[in-house]
Structure 1
Amino acid sequence: MSVIVVATSRPKPEKRAEVIAALEAAIVRVHAEDDGCELYALNETSDRLVMIEKWRDQAALDAHSRGAALAELQGGLNGRLTEPTEVVVLTPHPAGTARQGAV
């Protein structure tokens, strides 16, 4: 079963561009890997950056969690956030239509 991750980072205002650059570099690396990533997408508001991720299964997420792309990203975020990244791991609960009822 798929696993959904929502990771919210709040950059220091003066470090926002650096945080975005670190996230964009991670996106390129993760998209290039054949590791069970079905979605790895950056979204934003004025004060936070939100990664929406979808992994084939828990094993794929676990591999990502141990991988070089995430380790490099964590280094790129170090000292640039107002607080630690909030990571929420979700189990899908599809409802409604297949196209609209699940990420």
Structure 2
Amino acid sequence: MSSEPVVVVARCVPREGHAEQVEAAVLRAVAATHEQDAGCELYAAHQSVRGRPGIVIIEKWSSAELLQAHGTGDAFAALNGEVAELLAEPLDVMVLQPLPAGTDELGTL
């Protein structure tokens, strides 16, 4: 596995009438991830206001190994357990590879 940083974008779409429950679960997961998961450089929740609906979590991990550990950790398991029946579609997770351009500061996360 790579020791390069890994960026992830995850999107969850609450079922009708469950947006507040899903949002609360995501915010608990953000706090737990910040406290518990080694290698977390960024784990930030955002609400979609235009385009595809849902809550988006933008993540950056110091390595693929530590991202994998997060995926089997308590914070992620708790989130999955809380929202499993509340989502309109399966959690959409994209692991991204950078395409650096421009300056190092502005061209990569």
1:32-56 residue CA offsets vs partner (Å, 9 max, x unmatched): 1250000001111142111000000
1:71, distance to aligned residue in structure 2 (A) = 0.4
Conservation of the 8 A alpha-carbon contact between 2:37 and 2:70: no
Instruction: Kindly indicate whether residue 94 of structure 2 is the aligned counterpart of residue 88 of structure 1.
Output: yes
Taking only the aligned residue pairs, the percentage that are identical comes to 41
Matched residues in 2 for 1:33 and 1:18: separation? 22
1:93, distance to aligned residue in structure 2 (A) = 2.5
Residue in structure 2 matching 1:28, options 26, 31, 45: 31
1:20, distance to aligned residue in structure 2 (A) = 0.5
Secondary structure at 2:57 match in 1: strand
Distance 1:7-1:34 versus aligned 2 partners, 3 A rule: closer
How does the TM-score come out when normalised to structure 1? 0.94
Distance 1:34-1:50 versus aligned 2 partners, 3 A rule: closer
Conservation of the 8 A alpha-carbon contact between 2:14 and 2:87: yes
1:25, distance to aligned residue in structure 2 (A) = 0.4
Conservation of the 8 A alpha-carbon contact between 2:36 and 2:75: no
The aligned runs of 1:54-73 (5 Å cut-off) are 54-73=60-79
Give the structure 2 partner of residue 37 of structure 1.
40
Aligned residues: 103
Conservation of the 8 A alpha-carbon contact between 1:6 and 1:53: yes
Structure 2: state its 5+ residue gaps. Answer: none
1:79, distance to aligned residue in structure 2 (A) = 1.1
Matched residues in 2 for 1:81 and 1:73: separation? 12
1:6 aligned partner, one-letter code:
V
Superposed structure 1 runs of 4+ greater than 4 Å apart: none
1:92, distance to aligned residue in structure 2 (A) = 2.0
Give the structure 2 partner of residue 49 of structure 1.
55
Give RMSD over aligned pairs: 1.1
